[in-house]
Amino acid sequence: MNDIKKLVKDITTGIQEKKGSGIVIADMTGVDGAICRYFVICQGNSPLQVEAITESVTDYVRENSGEKPVKVVGLTNALWVAMDYTDVMVHIFVPDLRSYYNLEGLWEDACLTKIPDLE
């Protein structure tokens, strides 16, 4: 479990390196039927920033945890990118789509932790 928490922390740092905002960690361990243990949800202000955050997470996690995502989808338009680290799913949105899909509300049974934006 400590390896998963380190992975979540490394993902969060990768997001913050490119000034990703609105980071929410959803602990799914107590949710029946959940597809993973954690969701990490954040946003970038544009598709270019979403792409930069995705690259930063990939690089930071590989360098610090030795993990690679099993699958990354959504980079074609970079409006919503999903990164699958098996036990952790990363969702990087542009603001409009994040608001529309409202993953935090969809998984309201999960324990949500909001990470303050870096200044």
Spell out the residues 6+ positions from residue 117 whose beta carbon is closer than 8 angstroms to its own: 21, 22, 23
**So what's the pLDDT on residue 119?**
74
Percent of the chain with pLDDT over 90: 85
pLDDT band with cut points at 50, 70 and 90 for residue 42: very high
Residue type, 95: P
Scanning the chain, the segments in alpha helix (DSSP H) are 2-17, 47-65, 95-101, 103-106
User: Residue range 33-55: average pLDDT?
Assistant: 95
In tens, the pLDDT along 50-95 reads: 999 999 999 999 999 999 999 999 999 999 999 999 999 999 999 9
Q: Copy the structure tokens of residue 11.
A: 């993902």
Residue 1 has pLDDT above 60, yes or no: no
